[in-house]
Amino acid sequence: MAGIGFELRKLLRSQSYFGLLRAYVYASIISSGPWVFSIIGLMATGVLALGVVVPSVLITQFQVTVTYLIMASLVLTGGLQLGFTRWVADRLFEGRRDDIGAAYLGVMLVTTAVSGGFGLLVATLAFPGADVLYRALVVFGCTLLCNLWISTAFLSGLKNYRLIVLLYALGYGISVFLSMLARPWGIDGLLAGFLGGQFAMWVAMLWLVLRNFPVRGPLDLQCFRPGRMYPALLAGGVLYNLGIWSDKLVFWFDPSTSRPVIGMLRASMIYDLPVFLAYLSVIPGMAVFLVKFETDFVEWYDAFYRTVREGGALHDIVRYRERMQNVVREGIYQILKVQALTLLSLYTFIPALFHAIGISRLYMPLFMVQAVAASFQVMLLAVLNVFYYLDRRRDVVLVTATLCALNAALSLLSIRLGPDFYGYGFAVAVLCALFLGLLLLQSIFRKLEFRTFMLQ
């Protein structure tokens, strides 16, 4: 997210309530826009297909297929998103801009080969009785979404976040429109329509990347050579995404909490919907996260390392470090405060809201637990963001590995304890990872000057 702070600072300079409101609204759209559009797009496609796609179980099969595609593609590319983006940043710092376009195409080639092979294996083994078109769409969807996540991460380096959100809105709008047109063809039509919108979005991103980074030579795979991408970044990206999805996988494949939907894919009717909706509750916290950490923290971060590089006075270096540490504390506190108010509002109004949209009140306890867990996740993201700024890659691996292991183990335990404990496994796992991250961060700040100079 480096670079978004410049735009936020422009909005905050007005010194007015309207400027402050604009900054938070802008941050909300930037941080939450893409996945909010994905949630709304999937829900809208399902609603529009009711009464047209018969039997209705085909709609569930479509939504479950897309959910698995998103999960698999995020885990597959989580490490490469971080590793390749860092490689691009290093090349820009070295002034080797002409190397980037060819390397991007090389990454697309490798991503397509790996994800295509994985998708083909899954389509062959997981859907033995499905028609050929459905299996072909699964392979294409896995490949397309993997390339889409890489392109999204790459485009963030161009700092044109408004355009990214606009592309996601346009892409999911096209997905809903095409799925509506293709409803008569059942699950194949819904899936083809959804992927059509994603393909249009990826083509637009590809054009933007190549326009900003023209290809000056043959396709290049140099970023995959040993030592070019940091293994800890690759591991951290994979472990974070796997950690976030571990509880879903546990509930999907435990026979007591799930049922088969299509082929080997299973879904948990009691667990999935509350989780799906709970992430909408973190939009205020994500806005605070961006405004606080991408403006105040970055300002003191830049001052600290600029003073170190330029041989400034030690008392200035210490002061800037203390300001960074204070901003982190204030940011975590503000996220906690905003999310607490959001959760209190949800607790008050959620019964009426669930009744209005036809969702059973039985989902409410699990929804509130998941909303709390998602709030912890926002704070964990803030801590991981600071780790990345300070280049503490091994600490990221430790925290995300802890999240992954605890989420899987505690989710299994929650199933054994019974329905009253569903969702607590994820919440406790994220909270433990957050506490570990805060302890590590406190230790890092205590010795930051020493570590910084010893690295020289």
Helix or strand or coil: residue 265? strand
Alpha carbon distance 398, 27 (integer Å) = 29
Which residue has 């805060």 as its token pair?
438
Alpha carbon distance 336, 338 (integer Å) = 6
The pLDDT value recorded for residue 2 is: 43
Nearest to 149, CA basis, from 200, 74, 203: 74
Residues in CB range of 349: below 8 A, 6 or more apart = none
User: pTM for the full model?
Assistant: 0.90
Which residue has 């472990």 as its token pair?
239
| Token digits of residue 438 | 């805060």
Helix or strand or coil: residue 41? helix
**DSSP character at residue 222:** G
Domain ranges of the chain: 4-229, 275-454
Beta bridge partners of 266: 260
What pLDDT digit, counting tens, does each position of 343-359 carry? 999 888 888 888 777 77
CB atoms within 10 A of CB 155: 20
Helix or strand or coil: residue 149? helix
What pLDDT digit, counting tens, does each position of 147-204 carry? 999 988 887 666 666 777 788 888 989 999 999 999 888 899 999 999 999 999 999 9
Confidence of residue 13 (pLDDT cuts 50, 70, 90): low
Could you tell me how far CA 50 lies from the centroid of its own chain? 29
